[in-house]
Amino acid sequence: MIAKLWDNTGLIVALVLIAEGLLPFVSPRLWRTTFERLLTLRDGQIRFVGLISLVIGLLVLAFVT
């Protein structure tokens, strides 16, 4: 299983870059506004957003595999 994951690492990185690039490409103003709002969050709030992202990612991974 680990070997298969490493075989797909390039694909995974490419998909993350595509997902990260969509909002700034489609709506740079919205991306800038969102980023400015993120800068005003406290560390605990940013960690919570990171935790939610991790959990959603793990759930998606569990359902896909």
CB-based contact 46:53 (threshold 8 Å):
no
CA distances from 53 to 2, 45, 46 (A): 22, 12, 11
Indicate the pTM of the whole model. 0.64
Cα–Cα distance for residue pair 50/48, rounded to 1 Å: 5
Q: In the chain, where are the structural domains located?
A: 2-64
Q: In the prediction, which pLDDT does 24 show?
A: 93
Q: Where residue 7 falls among pLDDT bands split at 50, 70, 90?
A: confident
Report pLDDT digits (tens) over 10-23.
Answer: 888 888 999 999 99
CA distances from 49 to 15, 26, 62 (A): 20, 23, 20
pLDDT mean across residues, the chain? 88
* Token digits of residue 51: 């935790």
Report pLDDT digits (tens) over 35-65.
Answer: 899 999 999 999 999 999 999 988 988 887 7
